A = this chain, B = another copy of it.
Amino acid sequence: MRRPFLPVFLTASVLAGGCASPQRQADIAQANREVVLKFYEAGLNRKDADAALHYVGPRYVQHNPNAADGPEGFRQFIAFLRDKYPGSHSTIVKSFVDGDFVILHVHAVREPGTRGNAIVDIFKLENGKIVEHWDVTQAVPERTASGNPMF
């Protein structure tokens, strides 16, 4: 009558090891995505640097070639947007997440009515906070060779 406990033990070990781990990773990935989406909306669209920096860790390594490094560089960039392009808006067309990295495909329009830029942003997170950023930016052309849009 002791043998029935073996399957119970197996079930518990599967739940704790082989199963919980990928699910836990998926939960962390989804949480990372949410952090970046909130950061982006607060910073780029509401232009509230303080609210956005709530989602940034103790460092913010900047690879955008035009922006200064660190949280202070981000603050300067948001102040520039508030001053020069108060009507600018960034639409996140797609978001992707791979572990500690979140990638956004963005249509950013600085002046309403213009074609704007296609941007891909890459964010690295540590412990649920953004710590590093890369991006690539290209002006959206009037027409494309294929007739397909850039997004």
Chain A residues engaging chain B, CB cutoff 8 angstroms: 3-4, 7-8, 10-11, 14-15, 18-19, 22-23, 25-26, 61-69, 73, 94, 96-98, 101, 103, 105, 118-120, 122, 134, 136-138, 140-141, 143-151
Residue in contact with A146 in the complex, picked from B7, B69, B101, CB distance below 8 Å: B69
Residue contact B26 to A19, C-beta cutoff 8 Å:
no
**A-B residue pairs in contact (CB < 8 Å), sample of 13:** A7-B8, A7-B11, A14-B19, A15-B19, A63-B144, A64-B144, A64-B146, A66-B144, A69-B146, A97-B98, A98-B98, A136-B137, A138-B138
Number of copies of this kind of chain in the complex: 2
Chain B nearest CB, measured from A88 CB (Å) = 18
Chain B nearest CB, measured from A33 CB (Å) = 9
